Amino acid sequence: MAAIQTDELTKYYGETRGIEDVSFAVEEGEVFGFLGPNGSGKTTLIRTLLGFQSPTGGGATMLGRDVTDEREMIEARREIGYLPAEPVFDENATGRRLLEYYGALRGDERSDELLDMFDPPLQRKIGGYSRGNKQMLGIVLAFMHDPNLILMDEPTSGLDPLKQERFVEFVGREHDRGKTVFLSSHILGEVQKMCERVGIIRAGRLVELENVETLLGRSGKFVRVRVADEIRVDDFAFPGVHDLTVGSGGTTDAGDRRGGETVTFTFTGEYNVLLDHLTGYDVLDVEIEEAPLEEVFMRFYGEAPPDEARGEPTGDSGDGPTGDSGDGPTDEPVDEQVEGGG
């Protein structure tokens, strides 16, 4: 059974497209990253999967339960953790109070362990928390009942670099424990470190679903060559050369002439062609390394779907019967209670 399965899942807010015809599956035990630029539909997808808003079309299951069936989702949420993009809590409550509240609702299997890694000032009122402290509290609350499936929306936002690193390592250990992790991000390096597979969403539509390794393979190699000779940019105008620069941060203008220089480019062509070409130079140094995932990502982003304009916001929230439940703790044992409206 897939941990998450969607079938042409669609959510419109009135006329505004949130997501459209999104179909994919996340297998149990997988760490899956969902990438997309601002406003592409990442949050919409997560909130629809959690049953916080009804789809306009298509369907989805989480741990085999229909996301539109409120009863099934209450059942499923015992095994699901959720970290919203910007956790919103009752500002007058202390972190400790919220921890106890969540523990009483859903169980506390591991808050001590989590608090060793992520340490918000529990004795203080949340109103005085920094963004990073709120995020750490959100992480502890999302994981404390030891869910089998965890959904996280931009999980490292607000964390300092040390905590971000700690979080990446923590997700690795959760993976080793067989947990299923679904996270949205637009930080590619982070996704590259954590995820086995990624979905790329653009203007509400899934434009790619691929193993990170395969994507990187397709992204080509980053090449930097230092030569004693002069380099004409035109000389490197052969198939597979992209984003060519000559000199230190030099220009790519055709015909630009510089002496004893470094040429850098991304290469997706035939290696023999490249190596043959380089024999024509007095090569002083050469580096060939994996192109960053950013490169692939930007190539996908270069092509806008024809109807992208429809993705513009109209302010119409148009939620279904299970719509947004608003801020702060409620009596309902659902994760939505920690989140604000968006």
| 138 binds ligand ATP per the rule CB under 6 A | no
Query: Where does 195-312 have alpha helices with state H?
Result: 212-218, 271-278, 293-301
Q: Does 44 bind ligand ATP (CB under 6 A)?
A: yes
**Stretch touching ligand ATP by CB under 6 A, among 10-18, 87-95, 113-121, 155-163:** 10-18
**Nearest-approach distance from CB 85 to ligand ATP, in angstroms:** 6
Is there binding between residue 311 and ligand ATP (CB under 6 A)?
Answer: yes
Q: Say how many residues touch ligand ATP, by CB under 6 A.
A: 17
Q: Which residues lie across from 80 on neighbouring strands?
A: 149
Give dist(CA 201, CA 32) in Å, integer.
13
Residue 79 buriedness (CB in 10 A; 0-12 / 13-18 / 19+)? middle
Asked if 6 touches ligand ATP (CB under 6 A), the answer is: no
Measured CA to CA, the distance from residue 140 to residue 102 in angstroms comes to 10
Min CB(127)–ligand ATP separation in Å: 24
Whole-number minimum distance, CB 206 to ligand ATP, in Å?
A: 12
Asked whether position 317 contacts ligand ATP by CB under 6 A, the answer is: yes
- Please say which residue, 290 or 308, places its beta carbon nearer to ligand ATP: 308
Instruction: Give me the least distance between CB of 214 and ligand ATP, in Å please.
Output: 23
33 binds ligand ATP (CB under 6 A): no
**Is position 40 an interface residue for ligand ATP (rule: CB under 6 A)?**
yes
Give the integer Cα–Cα distance in Å for 89 and 101. Answer: 12
Are 46 and 153 contacting, i.e. CB atoms less than 8 angstroms apart? Answer: yes
Binding to ligand ATP by residue 313, rule CB under 6 A? yes
- The answer to whether the Cα torsion of 159, 163, 165, 170 is positive or negative is negative
Stretch that binds ligand ATP, among 36-44, 118-126, 168-176, 330-338 (CB under 6 A): 36-44
CA gap 179, 34 in Å, rounded? 17
Shortest separation between residue 285's beta carbon and ligand ATP, angstroms: 40
CB of 189 to ligand ATP, least distance (A): 16
Contact string (CB under 6 A) for ligand ATP, positions 49-88, x = contact: ------------------------------------x---
| Closest-CA residue to 149 (of 73, 210, 213) | 73
Q: Is 222 in the site for ligand ATP (CB under 6 A)?
A: no
In the list 38, 248, 272, 279, the residue contacting ligand ATP (rule: CB under 6 A) is: 38
Interface residue with ligand ATP among 42, 77, 202, 221 (CB under 6 A) is 42
Strands 65-66 and 80-83, bridge-based pairing: unpaired
Q: CB of 4 within 8 A of CB of 26?
A: yes
Enter the DSSP assignment of 109: S
Which residue of 6, 43, 133, 180 would you call a contact of ligand ATP, by CB under 6 A?
43
Question: Which helix (DSSP H) or strand (DSSP E) does residue 27 occupy?
Answer: strand 16-27
Q: Does 23 bind ligand ATP (CB under 6 A)?
A: no
Assign residue 319 a region (left: φ > 0; alpha: ψ between -120 and 50; beta: otherwise): beta
64 C-beta neighbours (distance < 10 Å), count: 11
The region of 1-9, 230-238, 239-247, 309-317 touching ligand ATP under the rule CB under 6 A is 309-317
Task: Give the separation between CA 296 and CA 83, rounded to whole angstroms.
Answer: 27
CB 304 within 8 A of CB 203: yes
Kindly list the residues in this chain that would bind ligand ATP in the complex (CB under 6 A).
13, 16, 18, 36, 38-44, 85, 186, 311, 313, 316-317
